[in-house]
Amino acid sequence: MTLTEKYRQQIESELERLVRDRRPEGLYAPVSYVLSLGGKRIRPVLCLLGCALYNADRVKDSLYPALGLEVFHNFTLLHDDIMDQSDMRRNRPTVHRKWDSNTAILSGDAMTILAYQLVARGPSESLRAVLELFSRTGLEVCEGQQYDMEFEQSSSVGVKNYLEMIRLKTAVLLGASLQTGALIGGAGEAQAQALYRFGIAAGIAFQLQDDWLDVYGDAATFGKNIGGDIINNKKTFLLLQALESLSPAGRAELQNWMSRSDYDREEKIAAVRNLYDQVNVSDTARKLMDSYHQEALAHLQAAGGNAQVADELKDFARGLMERVR
């Protein structure tokens, strides 16, 4: 069994017990429900791996902060679902649909406090640095979400703006998870920063792959219908790159499809994908993903530490690039 799988199983076991028997049930049942929806547990596993990279004997000390990072991540999903009015999360009803919006908001608030409680249970010698990192990251995630909402109404979003948004909304929490583990494991400042940058680059590659899969993935393995971003006119890298690269006539055609309220779903997806193909958006996205992947590996090498753990982190980064769902 790899360390990654061992740590994932440990995280799952701890999450199952986290809010068991807490009262009032109306507050904590939605929290338990959200945490039971599954997921890859990427962030807490990265925290434990980040610690093991420098000191395997301290991994137990990073467990509670790792759980806190996972609780915080799931809180952001819960509130995102409210803001997006999403009906389903991982093929099950979202909290605000299963209960109601007020319950979802309050349970989400409780999750943020619970996350801080868990992070604060880390060892005292690194606690200040860990809490400062967690607080900064939490604000950055909120900033990323705000940019994402503003982009929906803006006509002047560029690729550079989008990359900064996904750095904040997605990548910083991966970087912070790794750096939290590194700090608890006793890494030096330069090592911890290099590991953080590894997480940032891998996180951006992760989101770019998600954008690509929504257009070019296989619906049978992707886990949801292909083309959802196109139907929702979501400003992904692919859309923004197409808008910057198409001829004036092609750009006008793409904007026409974006402005229509009456259309056939499959026809719109096919038409927009055809416009993407005219300017090789798929290849551009894949090349950019590979660039961030190589950047991540360079930062990981600079981070040093245990070679076996570093190899598992390399496998993690490769898995983000090769995933199909």
For residue range 57-113, list pLDDT tens digits in order: 999 999 999 999 999 999 999 999 999 888 888 889 999 999 999 999 999 999 999
Which pLDDT score is estimated for 324?
A: 53
Q: Which residues of the chain have pLDDT under 70?
A: 219-224, 324-325
Q: Which residues pair with 92 in a beta bridge?
A: 89
Q: How many CB atoms lie within 10 A of CB 171?
A: 26
CATH number for 99: 1.10.600.10
Q: What is the pTM of this model?
A: 0.95
Sequence-ordered list of residues with C-beta below 8 angstroms from that of 97, at least 6 positions apart, any chain? 87
CA distance 78 to 83: 9
Count up the domains in the chain and report the number: 1
Which pLDDT score is estimated for 224?
A: 59
> With b meaning 16 or more CB within 10 Å and e meaning fewer, what string describes 196-208?
bbbbbbbbbbbbb
Kindly state the tokens that stand for 46. Answer: 């990265």
> With b meaning 16 or more CB within 10 Å and e meaning fewer, what string describes 15-50?
beebbeeeeeeeebbbbbbbbeeeeebbbbbbbbbb
Could you list the residue range(s) of the whole structural domain that residue 111 is in? 3-322
